[in-house]
Amino acid sequence: MRLKVLKEILSWVDCGTSKKRILINYLRFGDSLNKFRGKHTGCRAFVVGNGPSLNSIDMSLLKDEITFGSNRVYLGFKVWGFHFKYWASIDTRCIVQLYREYNSKLPDEVIKFVPVQYAHYFNMANMYPINVIYRYDNFPQFSCNPDKVYEGWTVTYVLLQIAIIMGCNPIYLVGVDYSYKITDKEKKMNGNVWTDPASKSHFMSGYCASDKGIVWNIPKFDKTDKAFEYAAKLSKEKGIEIYNATPGSKLKFFPFVKFENIFK
C-alpha cells in the first residue's frame, strides 16, 4: 500500500522539488494523518473558507468548536479572539509564495497539515505532512482513509477529507462563498493567476496581498463543481452529514442551514 501511494505522489512533481527530496519526506512523515483517524468520531466540525460572508456571522460561536481553516485564515484570529484547531495549505503556488509567512504567523497550538511533497519548506510546531495526490485518473476521487487525500482544485475539498477521516459528523461549511471577483481583463492579462487587489472575495482587505506581489490560481469551477458533487454523493452514501451554513453561498451541492440555528 505504501509503495502504491508513493508512486501516486511521485506521478506529479512541481516547483523544482526533486523526487529524491519527496522520497525523503515521505519516508519521514508518510503516516502522519493516521494519528488522527477517528479522533473526533461523532463530533460536529466546521470547515471554514475565507469568504467575505465570515463578516456577516458571529465568529465567536466557533471558539469552542472543532474548526478547520486554510491559507491566510490566521489574519482573522486576533479579530475573532481565538485560533482554529486545524489548518492546511495544499496549493503549490500558495506554499511557494507564503511558506515563510506561514512559518512565522501560525500559532504553535494550531495543528497544521501540509503536503508531504513540500514538507521541507516548513518549520512549524504541530506540523503533520500528509500525502496529497495532485493529479490522478478518474477525477474526482475522495479518500476516507488516512494514507492519502485527493486534491480537488480547492483546499476545502482536502479539509473535508481530513474531517471525515477524523470521524467528524456532521460537518458544516462556513465562509465557503464560492464566488470570486475576477474580471475578464485580469483573466486575459494573467492567464491562470489572479491578484484580486481589493480582496473583495475574502473576509479581510489585503488578504490576497497583491501589494506584496502575491498571485493566486484562478478558481476552476468546472473542476471544483465535479469534486464537490462527488463529495456530496459519497458522504450521503456513507451516512456523513455535510451542510452548507454559508450565507449567500453559491455552492449548491450540500443542504443549506442557517449558521445561527446550529447553536440553538
* Backbone φ, ψ for residue 112 (5° rounding): -115, 130
CA dist 63 → 68, 197, 255 (Å): 12, 30, 24
Q: Which residue has the higher pLDDT, 218 or 195?
A: 218
Which three cell numbers mark 197? 487587489
Looking at residue 173, its amino acid is L
Count of residues making up the chain: 264
The span from the CA of 163 to the CA of 176, in Å, is 16
Grid look-up 489548518 returns 87
Q: Are strands 193-194 and 216-217 parallel, antiparallel or unpaired?
A: antiparallel
What is the per-residue DSSP string for 8-39? HHHTS--TT--HHHHHHHHHHHTTGGGGGTTT
The span from the CA of 162 to the CA of 46, in Å, is 12
Name the fold adopted by 2-263: sialyltransferase cstii, chain A (3.90.1480)
Which three cell numbers mark 13? 512533481
Grid look-up 473576509 returns 203
pLDDT-derived band of residue 49, with 50, 70 and 90 as boundaries? very high
pLDDT-derived band of residue 187, with 50, 70 and 90 as boundaries? low
Q: Which of 105, 215, 244, 220 is nearest to 152 (CA)?
A: 220
What's the pLDDT at 24? 81
Instruction: Name the residue ranges covered by the structural domains of the chain.
Output: 2-263
What are 105-135's pLDDT values in tens digits? 999 999 999 999 999 999 999 999 999 999 7
pLDDT-derived band of residue 67, with 50, 70 and 90 as boundaries? very high
Residue 216, classed as helix, strand or coil, is: strand
Give, to the nearest 10 degrees, the angle between helix 155-165 and helix 221-237. 20
CA 227 to chain centre: 13
* Mean per-residue pLDDT, 78-89: 98
* Mean per-residue pLDDT, 210-219: 79
What are 245-264's pLDDT values in tens digits? 999 999 999 999 999 999 99
3-state secondary structure the chain: CHHHHHHHHHCCCCCCCCHHHHHHHHHHHCCHHHHHCCCCCCCCEEEECCCHHHHHCCHHHHCCCEEEEECCHHHHHHHHCCCCCEEECCCHHHHHHHHHHHHHHCCCCCEEEEEHHHHHHCCCCCEEEECEECCCCCCCCCCCCCCCEECCCCHHHHHHHHHHHCCCCCEEEECCCCCCCCCHHHHHHHCCEECCCCCCCCCCCCCCCHHHCCCEECCCHHHHHHHHHHHHHHHHHCCCCEEECCCCCCCCCCCECCHHHHHC
What's the pLDDT at 183? 66
